[in-house]
């Protein structure tokens, strides 16, 4: 009887400890665990939000909402896009910003969530530095290159528009010398920076996915 009572008391203590352990797993603990495992996914989501806000502001400038009130404070971007020529830079930069600067950045967050949130492989050490390299280089490179393309295309299209239509009446050669040629090297450097960021991120992903 005494032995059975001791066993019963021991079982009761184990049950109490189990219940206490379950009670310790609160929503706050779960959120903390996700925070520790999903830090890079969260950073990339915020990067996508910021990039989306930038392209949204550019879109507003292109749409010219004030023109509906007959308020024209700058040369119409729609004329630049419709005119072709140097204006193609603007359209190309705008589309690429949406695809690479917003969509690709948001998709990158999914990869980090899979590694850290699903597989539980938190970035640290070398892989953390590689992740920072991708985060900074890719976001700065893409945003810088695409904004320069948009600006160069806008100014080139404005300069190439006939004077009678509100432009400067420049020839293609004059546009190249005055605007586009000055942007080729900076845009190329920023694209290389973004490419380097993507390589660093891919290297970090491979290393972290193959280690415990």
Distances (CA, A) of 197 to 1, 17, 53, 204: 71, 49, 22, 11
Q: What's the rounded mean pLDDT across residues 130-156? A: 96
Q: State yes or no: pLDDT of 73 exceeds 60.
A: yes
Q: Which sequence spans correspond to the domains of the chain?
A: 1-37, 40-210
Chain-wide mean pLDDT for the chain?
83
User: With the C-alpha atoms ordered 127, 128, 131, 136, is the resulting torsion angle positive or negative?
Assistant: negative
| pTM of the complete model | 0.78
Q: Give the whole-angstrom CA distance, residue 98 versus residue 127.
A: 28
Helices 105-112 and 39-63: crossing angle, nearest 10°?
Answer: 170
Query: Cα–Cα distance between 85 and 151 in angstroms, integer?
Result: 14
How far are the Cα atoms of 31, 55, 134, 198 from residue 103, in angstroms, in the given order? 26, 12, 16, 14
The model's pLDDT over 166-187, given as tens digits with 9 standing for 90+, comes to 888 899 899 999 999 999 999 9
* Residue 160 CA to its chain's centroid (Å): 33
CB-CB contact of 150 with 58 (8 Å): yes
The pLDDT-based confidence of 37 (bands split at 50, 70, 90) is low
| Whole-number pLDDT of residue 13 | 52
Cβ neighbours of residue 144 under 8 Å, at least 6 residues apart?
Answer: 186, 190, 193
Q: CA angle 153-159-162, nearest 5°? A: 125
Give residue 22's pLDDT.
Answer: 47
């Amino acid at each position: 009887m005494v032995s059975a009572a001791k066993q019963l008391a021991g079982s009761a203590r184990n049950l109490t400890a189990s219940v206490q352990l379950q009670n310790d797993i609160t929503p706050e603990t779960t959120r903390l665990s996700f925070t520790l495992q999903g830090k890079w996914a969260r950073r990339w989501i915020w990067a996508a939000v910021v990039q989306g806000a930038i392209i949204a502001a550019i879109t507003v400038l292109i749409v010219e909402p004030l023109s509906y009130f007959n308020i024209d404070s700058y040369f119409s971007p729609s004329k630049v896009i419709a005119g072709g020529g140097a204006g193609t830079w603007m359209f190309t930069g705008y589309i690429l910003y949406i695809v690479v600067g917003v969509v690709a950045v948001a998709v990158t967050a999914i990869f980090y969530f899979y590694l850290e949130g699903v597989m539980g492989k938190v970035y640290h050490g070398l892989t953390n530095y590689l992740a920072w390299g991708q985060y900074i280089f890719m976001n700065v490179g893409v945003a810088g290159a695409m904004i320069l393309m948009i600006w160069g295309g806008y100014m080139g299209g404005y300069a190439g528009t006939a004077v009678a239509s509100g432009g400067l009446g420049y020839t293609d050669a004059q546009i190249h010398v005055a605007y586009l040629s000055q942007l080729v090297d900076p845009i190329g450097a920023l694209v290389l920076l973004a490419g380097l960021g993507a390589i660093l991120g891919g290297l970090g992903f491979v290393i972290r996915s193959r280690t415990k």
